[in-house]
Structure 1
Amino acid sequence: MTTTVAPQPTAATGPGPRPRRAGRLTQGANLRVGERFASPGRVVAIVALVVMAVGWLLPFVWAVVTSFKSEASAAATPVTLLPPDGFTTDAYGNVLREGNVPLWTWNSLVTAVAITVITIAVSALAAYALARIDFAGRRWLFWLIIASIIVPPPVLIVPLFYEMLALNLVDTYWAIILPQLVHPAMVFILKKFFEQVPLELEDAARIDGAGRLRVFWSVVLPLSRPILAAVAIFVFIGAWNNFLWPFIITSDASLMTLPVGLQTVKSAYGLQYAQTMAAAVLAALPLIIVFLFFQRQIIRGFSTTGFGGQ
């Protein structure tokens, strides 16, 4: 009877951690063995991003610093970043004292929120109908919406003004709100997102007895929170920053939005650099706060719609 003896582990073949192969990813670094963390391409990308970030932040920093200067320092030559006579809040005091900033801010908030909510409701319903309901003329209606994206908004100012005049809505909140409810680009974005929602989920809800609106409300909308948040932010920012239409449709000072009201304060005192920058900072401050609170939803909305290159 022959007995076979298993080979004993030696130092060369014994148990223990195997040597790491050259093609294996290093733990927690996503870099291959031998690949440098600071590769030339990575360095170039980081430098380019830093340059673009500084280029974007520099005008904002300049506006903030200028708003804390005196009018003499803001208009002095040569231009310097730091004022020789120190910083002051006189420009903000003049804007807040001479203008009705709280009322204008309230008007902007009311109109921007109303525009955002109604636009999301109308655009989402239209986008879902175009994405899921097969009706006569759907293709032509979709191409009409796409074609309306390229129409410049200033072209519609005169017809919209006569429409508001015929409806006796001039100098009202509705005159500011109604013409800004149509956003073909948002309908297009939401339609593309709704088409990515699995049909199996909607079919399962219909089997349980849910109707079309119930499926839209209970299945589609909960899955669309990231894109709805991103679209809401874009619509809100556009409505808040809109100057031309509220300036044309309102003449009552109690209905002026913040950009229009601050423009009247600046015009009353001529060209004053510090006061102009203070008004711009006050108008941009609510948008900065909104972005800081909802930046995660904006980034998630980009990634889910393919805007991020995916």
Structure 2
Amino acid sequence: MKWFYRIISILAAFFFVAPIVWMLVVSIKEEGMKIITLVDWFTPPYSFAVYHQILMGTKLTNWIGNSFLVAICVTLLTVTFAAMAGFALSKIPFRYRALMFFVVLAGLLIPGEAIIIPLYQVAKDQSLLNSYQGLIIPVLASPVAVIVLKSFFDGVPNDLIESVQIDGGGTWRIFMNIMLPLTRPALASMAILTFIGSWNNFLWPFLSVTDDNLFTLPMGIPTLMSSYSEDYVKPMVVNTISSLPIILLFLIFERQIVKGVSLSGIKG
């Protein structure tokens, strides 16, 4: 039975990895290649000339920089605000705390598309359109991150907090020196998942930005695809360049992602 599960796991891994391998191989083929059989996809000649052409002849590097800037800012601010909100809902007694938690929980029931029009109107009234602030600020609210981090904070014994208070520690010291170190797996998983979500976000940048110098990768890639629709190599080069950061991020932080997701109880 153990061998059966191993075979199934290997087959599942193959189906997930095969498209990535195919993308990488096709991206280093020469332009205008003739494909007659399946073997032709993986046979030489190979060339990196299209990579140079795409990186030097388009704004792809600028869009990559924009995506990194937006994703990093969104990740840091979202996790920071979610951690503070989760800590307040979990450990700070205040009036209507339960009601506030249900308000945050209700945010999970509202699809993002339902609030996109009022969100756009607010951003327009605040002159946030066509700016980095407009790409970052409107997407900082994350009910999922607040709820997940609150569940972690709930697991920290109150006796530990009371002992710090007896020693003269205030709320900020408890949050920084006690709560954050103990919930590091949840913080790491939320940060990585938030980064990936921001990196792949298309709808809000599509609505809030018209200047191609501010495009993120999900917005810029379709403009390149429409220009190179008759050839396989250039689209695969663009997809490879845009996918590699996320693939590397997952490979580097795989353990933290799995540990954080499993501990938080998130179901796929």
TM-score normalised over the length of structure 1: 0.79
Partner of 1:107: 66
Shift of 1:126: 0.9
The residue type paired with residue 99 of structure 1 is: T
Partner of 1:58: 18
Partner of 1:210: 169
Could you tell me which runs of 5 or more consecutive residues in structure 1 were left unpaired when the two chains were aligned.
1-39
TM-score normalised over the length of structure 2: 0.91
Q: Residues 52-73 of structure 1, C-alpha deviation per residue, up to 9 Å, x if partnerless?
A: 2111111111211221223433
Partner of 1:70: 30
Q: Residues 81, 205 of structure 1: CA spacing in aligned structure 2 closer, same or farther, 3 A cutoff?
A: farther
Partner of 1:128: 87
Q: 1:148 aligns with which of 107, 110, 120?
A: 107
Matched, 1:139 2:69: no
Matched, 1:231 2:190: yes
Matched, 1:86 2:45: yes
The residue type paired with residue 259 of structure 2 is: R
Partner of 1:172: 131
The 1-side partners of 2:149 and 2:194 are apart by 13
Q: Residues 250-273 of structure 1, C-alpha deviation per residue, up to 9 Å, x if partnerless?
A: 111221112322322222333532
Give the 5 Å matches for 1:155-166.
155-166=114-125
Partner of 1:196: 155
Partner of 1:18: none
CA contact (8 A) 1:266 1:276 kept: yes
Relative to its length, the structure with more helix (as a share) is: 2
Describe the SS at the equivalent of 1:277: helix
Q: Residues 136, 272 of structure 1: CA spacing in aligned structure 2 closer, same or farther, 3 A cutoff?
A: farther
Q: 2:7 aligns with which of 29, 47, 52?
A: 47
CA contact (8 A) 1:98 1:265 kept: no
CA contact (8 A) 1:65 1:81 kept: no
Shift of 1:227: 1.1
Q: 1:277 aligns with which of 236, 243, 261?
A: 236
Shift of 1:297: 2.0
The 1-side partners of 2:135 and 2:196 are apart by 15
The residue type paired with residue 77 of structure 2 is: I
The 1-side partners of 2:111 and 2:230 are apart by 30
Higher relative contact order (CA 8 A, sep 6+): 2
Matched, 1:255 2:255: no
- Over aligned residues, Cα RMSD in angstroms? 2.2
CA contact (8 A) 1:73 1:84 kept: no
The 2-side partners of 1:91 and 1:150 are apart by 45
Q: Residues 234-262 of structure 1, C-alpha deviation per residue, up to 9 Å, x if partnerless?
A: 00111111122212211112211123223
Shift of 1:100: 1.9
The residue type paired with residue 232 of structure 2 is: Y
The residue type paired with residue 52 of structure 1 is: A
CA contact (8 A) 2:228 2:234 kept: no
Partner of 1:294: 253
The 2-side partners of 1:272 and 1:144 are apart by 50
The 1-side partners of 2:66 and 2:248 are apart by 18
Describe the SS at the equivalent of 2:224: helix
Shift of 1:82: 2.9
Q: Tell me the number of residue pairs that the alignment of Structure 1 and Structure 2 aligns.
A: 268
Q: Residues 81, 124 of structure 1: CA spacing in aligned structure 2 closer, same or farther, 3 A cutoff?
A: farther
CA contact (8 A) 1:94 1:275 kept: no
State percent identity of aligned pairs. 34
CA contact (8 A) 1:99 1:262 kept: no
The 2-side partners of 1:198 and 1:206 are apart by 13
- Determine which structure has more spread, i.e. the larger CA radius of gyration: 1
Shift of 1:303: 4.0
Could you tell me which runs of 5 or more consecutive residues in structure 2 were left unpaired when the two chains were aligned.
none
Describe the SS at the equivalent of 1:73: coil
The residue type paired with residue 212 of structure 1 is: T
The 1-side partners of 2:118 and 2:39 are apart by 47
Q: Residues 208, 243 of structure 1: CA spacing in aligned structure 2 closer, same or farther, 3 A cutoff?
A: same
The 1-side partners of 2:85 and 2:48 are apart by 48
